[in-house]
Amino acid sequence: MTRARVLVADDEPDLRAMLADYLDMQGFDVSTAADAPELGARLAAGPVDVIVLDINMPGETGLAALARLRAAGLAAGVILLTAAGTLETRLDGLRAGADDFMEKPFEPRELLARIRAVLRRLEPSQPPAPDAPAPAVRMGRCSFDPVGRCLRDAEGRSIALTAMEFDLLDVFVRHPRQILSRARLAELAHGRPLEPGDRSIDIRVTRLRAKIGEAARASRTLRTVHGEGYLYDPDA
């Protein structure tokens, strides 16, 4: 069985070594990086499944590196490590393309659970039954394949989705023409409630609108229903 590949990028040598040993014992193929250049070199050497990424690395920060890598098509799951677990920090991470967060100091077992959760979201769905309809559905200017876990543009080129962006699109597709509140979307897509002031759903919807080729204010596919939530219209 192929071992999932985890890359730990953190400027603290002791933390890198501890996580490398711990995750290796848990059955992962682990590599490490001390800064953004090393992170890039590790990714250039081969793909990874999950990146555990410290926000406050020297030189280029983890947030800046993540935003740059996502813009270049990075599809791996990303869990950010942060010593400042403020709401604004989490929102900045979501805008950059993070899938999850861990606040330092943390218990390695909790990080392990979060890595496994991200990996589950990245796993391909079971193939449909032989008589099932084609899974791809229209999504703005794109087509979305929930089974193949991919979003493709009009020319058939793949558009990178984070694990949580996929989860959110999948919920919309499963509930067409239904108004879903932000709280309900968080429960269905991510399995947890929204905290007060949490704008993570809004940020992900904005990112998804851009990926399907629609401007936020004029989006008809992922429509804002003021005061209530969002609605997916497959006929828009």
The three-state DSSP-derived secondary structure of 108-173 is: HHHHHHHHHHHHHHHCCCCCCCCCCCCCCEEECCEEEECCCCEEECCCCCEECCCHHHHHHHHHHH
Which CATH entry fits the domain spanning 5-122: 3.30.565.10, 3.40.50.2300, 3.30.450.20, 1.10.3720.10?
Answer: 3.40.50.2300
Tokens of 173: 């597709």
Domain with CATH 1.10.10.10 in the chain: 137-232
User: What is the predicted pLDDT for the residue at 1?
Assistant: 58
DSSP string, 39-76: HHHHHHHS--SEEEEESS-SSS-HHHHHHHHHHTT--S
Long-range contacts of 220-226 (CB under 8 A, 24+ apart): 221/139, 221/140, 222/140, 222/172, 225/179
How do the pLDDT tens digits run along the chain, 236 residues long? 578 999 999 999 999 999 999 999 999 999 999 999 999 999 999 999 999 999 999 899 999 999 999 888 888 999 999 887 677 888 888 888 898 889 999 999 999 999 998 888 777 554 444 444 446 888 888 999 887 788 888 888 888 888 888 889 999 988 999 999 999 998 888 777 877 778 889 989 998 999 998 886 778 899 999 989 999 998 87
Kindly give, in sequence order, each residue whose CB lies less than 8 Å from that of residue 204, ignoring residues fewer than 6 positions away: 94, 164, 165, 168
Domain with CATH 3.40.50.2300 in the chain: 5-122
H or E element, residue 93? helix 87-96
The domain 137-232: what is its CATH number? 1.10.10.10
User: What is the predicted pLDDT for the residue at 129?
Assistant: 46
Residue with tokens 């391909």: 124
User: What is the predicted pLDDT for the residue at 134?
Assistant: 46
User: What is the predicted pLDDT for the residue at 78?
Assistant: 95
Q: 8 has which bridge partners?
A: 32, 52
